[in-house]
Structure 1
Amino acid sequence: MPLRAIRGATTLERDEREHLHQRTQELVEAVVAANSLETDDIVSVIFTCTPDIVSDFPAAAARELGFGAVPLMCAQEMAVPGALPLVVRVMMHAETGRSRNEITHVYLHDAVSLRRDLAQ
């Protein structure tokens, strides 16, 4: 099956571990559901956070969903002046029979403003 990259993002209301986990899990579950994926379809996941998120790693939230065997990585976004704050982004690599045009990218909460062309 082809390997596809699926993008998404969400925002937090506050930098708090439990809230970060809830929003990250919401995002991951939405990407998986929107693209009819199973955990075994997922090859790897890269998370990034804006520099104002320091309460925990988004990957820890994904592991709580059963992603323990999936390679996960976290990184920090560039600190661009005026950028949307408290953003968690995801780039999920998955094996799927969907074409690139059939992939659904997921943007939640205030992150919809980042890619109105891709947001549902």
Structure 2
Amino acid sequence: MSVRGIRGAITVEANDSQQILDASVTLLNAIVEVNGIQPEDIAGIMITVTQDLDAAFPAKSIRQLEGWEFVPLMCSLEIAVEGSLERCIRFMVLANTELAQADMRHVYLGEAVKLRPDLSAAR
């Protein structure tokens, strides 16, 4: 078994607490579903937000999900680069799996599809 990285991102329409929390759960659920992983498979999740999102900690919504209470979560700010995508939440999920890195499915939702169109296309 190896630790593999799974990337994902999602955007929200506004700097609104409920939108941030809901989008975080949506992204997590999509990553878990397409990769067939469970909370006990997760070594940790690094979450970043763009600097225009400060209404809520995305990790808050994940910690409230049943079975996710003990998964290590860390929130941070994304590097501010001129012209970068706004109102974006990014995940780096580190999962224990038998799958090869090339078999991990990355998830980009909303406007975040623009970040990695090569990984957003259906495989």
TM-score by length of 1: 0.97
**Residue of structure 2 equivalent to 1:95:** 96
* TM-align CA RMSD: 0.8
Please say if 1:117 is aligned against 2:104: no
Cα deviation per residue 1:58-97 (whole Å; 9 max; x = unaligned)? Answer: 1101112232101100000111111110000000001011
What displacement does 1:41 show? Answer: 0.3
2:41 is matched with: 41
Counterpart CA distance in 2 for 1:4 and 1:62 is: 20
The aligned amino acid for 1:98 is L
Question: Equivalent residue of 1:81, what SS?
Answer: coil
Q: List structure 1 runs of 4+ shifted beyond 6 angstroms.
A: none
Q: Measure the CA separation in 2 of the matches of 1:116 and 1:8.
A: 12
State the match for 2:71 in structure 1. 70
How many residues are aligned here? 120
What is the alpha-carbon distance in structure 1 between the residues aligned to residue 88 and residue 39 of structure 2? 24
| Alignment partners' CA distance in 2, 1:81 and 1:102 | 33
TM-score by length of 2: 0.95
Counterpart for residue 12 of structure 2:
12
